[in-house]
Structure 1
Amino acid sequence: MENRIMHPDFLLDTETARTLYHGWAEKAPIIDYHCHIDPKEIFEDRRFDNIAQIWLGGDHYKWRLMRSNGVEERYITGDAPDREKFQKFAESLPRAIGNPMYHWCHLELKNYFGYTGVLNGNTAEEVWRLCNEKLQNDPAMSARGLILGSNVAMVGTTDDPCSDLRWHEKLAADGGFPVRVCPSFRPDPAVNLHKAGFAAYIKKLEQVTGRSIATVEDVRAALSERIEYFDAHGCRSADHGLDYVMFRPVSDEAATAALQRALARGQLTREEAEGYQTALLVHCAREYARRGWVMQLHFSCMRNPNSRMLAALGPDTGFDCIAVTDSCAAAYRLMDALEAEGSLPKTVLYSLNPADNAWIDTLLGAFQSAEIPGKIQHGSAWWFNDHRTGMTEQLTSLANLSVLGNFIGMLTDSRSFLSYARHEYFRRILCSLIGRWVENGEYPADMETLGALVQDICCNNAKRYFDL
Structure 2
Amino acid sequence: MSASIAAHPDRLLPADPGTRSIARGLLALVEDLPIVSPHGHVDARILAEDTPFPDPTGMLISPDHYVTRLLHANGVALADLGVGGSPADPREAWRLFCRHWDLFDGTASGYWLRSEFVDVFGIDDALIGEEHADELYDRLQALVEQPEFRPRALFERFGLEVMATTDDPLDDLAAHARLAADETFAGRVLPTFRPDAYVKFSGAGFAEKARRLVDTAGDGVGGYEGYLRALQNRRAHFLAHGAVSTDHGTLTARTLRMDAGEAGRLFEKGLRGEATPAEAEAFEANMTYQFARMAVDDGLVMTLHPGVHRNHSPETFARHGADTGHDIPFAMEYTRALQPLLADFGTAENFHLVLFTIDETVFSREIAPLAGFYPSVYVGAPWWFIDEPDAMLRFRSAVTGTAGFSRSSGFIDDTRAFCSIPARHDASRRTEASFLARLVAEHRISAERAAEIIVDVVDTAPRRAFKL
TM class by shorter chain equals: over 0.9
Post-superposition offset of 1:343: 7.1
How far does the alpha carbon of each residue in 1:119-168 deviate from its partner, in whole angstroms, 9 at most, with x for none?
1212222322222221112x221111111111111011111111111111
Matches within 5 A, 1:158-169: 158-169=166-177
**Cα distance in 1, alignment partners of residues 58 and 204 from structure 2:** 29
Structure 1 window deviating more from structure 2 (158-167 vs 432-441): it is 432-441
Amino acid at match of 2:66: Y
**Correspondence for 1:228:** 236
**Cα distance in 2, alignment partners of residues 2 and 354 from structure 1:** 35
Contact 2:334–2:367 (8 Å) recurs in 1: no
Amino acid at match of 1:264: R
Contact 1:289–1:344 (8 Å) recurs in 2: yes
Post-superposition offset of 1:344: 6.9
Matches within 5 A, 1:25-174: 25-76=30-81, 77=83, 78-118=86-126, 119-137=128-146, 139-174=147-182
Query: Residue 181 of structure 1 aligns to a residue in which SS?
Result: strand
Pairing partner for 1:187 from 195, 199, 206? 195
**Cα distance in 1, alignment partners of residues 2 and 125 from structure 2:** 4
**Cα distance in 1, alignment partners of residues 125 and 420 from structure 2:** 19
**Correspondence for 1:372:** none
Structure 1 residue 451 and structure 2 residue 451: aligned?
yes
Q: Which runs of 5+ in 1 are unaligned?
A: 369-374
Query: TM-score w.r.t. structure 1 length?
Result: 0.93
Structure 1 window deviating more from structure 2 (127-136 vs 257-266): it is 127-136
**Cα distance in 1, alignment partners of residues 408 and 258 from structure 2:** 35
Post-superposition offset of 1:407: 2.8
Post-superposition offset of 1:212: 5.2
Pairing partner for 1:334 from 328, 341, 344? 341
Post-superposition offset of 1:245: 1.2
**Correspondence for 2:288:** 281
Amino acid at match of 1:39: A
Contact 1:237–1:296 (8 Å) recurs in 2: yes
**Cα distance in 1, alignment partners of residues 265 and 435 from structure 2:** 52
Contact 1:30–1:153 (8 Å) recurs in 2: yes
How far does the alpha carbon of each residue in 1:59-101 deviate from its partner, in whole angstroms, 9 at most, with x for none?
1111111112211333223433111101111122212222111
Amino acid at match of 1:33: P
How far does the alpha carbon of each residue in 1:227-280 deviate from its partner, in whole angstroms, 9 at most, with x for none?
11111111111111101011232221111111111111113241x224432333
Structure 1 window deviating more from structure 2 (39-48 vs 342-351): it is 342-351
Structure 1 residue 249 and structure 2 residue 254: aligned?
no
Name the CA shift for 1:182/1:191 in 2 (closer, same or farther; >3 Å).
same
Structure 1 residue 325 and structure 2 residue 327: aligned?
no
**Cα distance in 1, alignment partners of residues 79 and 291 from structure 2:** 42
**Cα distance in 2, alignment partners of residues 327 and 216 from structure 1:** 27
Matches within 5 A, 1:3-14: 3-6=3-6, 7-13=8-14, 14=20
**Correspondence for 1:265:** 273
User: Structure 1 residue runs of 4+, over 4 Å off?
Assistant: 210-214
**Correspondence for 2:17:** none
Contact 2:372–2:407 (8 Å) recurs in 1: no
RMSD: 1.8
Post-superposition offset of 1:213: 6.1
Percent identity at matched positions?
A: 29
Query: Residue 351 of structure 1 aligns to a residue in which SS?
Result: coil
Name the CA shift for 1:282/1:168 in 2 (closer, same or farther; >3 Å).
same
Query: Residue 99 of structure 2 aligns to a residue in which SS?
Result: helix
Structure 1 residue 410 and structure 2 residue 411: aligned?
yes
**Correspondence for 2:304:** 297
Contact 2:218–2:226 (8 Å) recurs in 1: no
Contact 2:80–2:88 (8 Å) recurs in 1: yes
**Correspondence for 2:24:** 18
Amino acid at match of 1:330: A
**Correspondence for 1:423:** 425
Query: TM-score w.r.t. structure 2 length?
Result: 0.93
**Cα distance in 2, alignment partners of residues 174 and 294 from structure 1:** 26
How far does the alpha carbon of each residue in 1:21-66 deviate from its partner, in whole angstroms, 9 at most, with x for none?
1x21211111100011111111111211321110123111111111
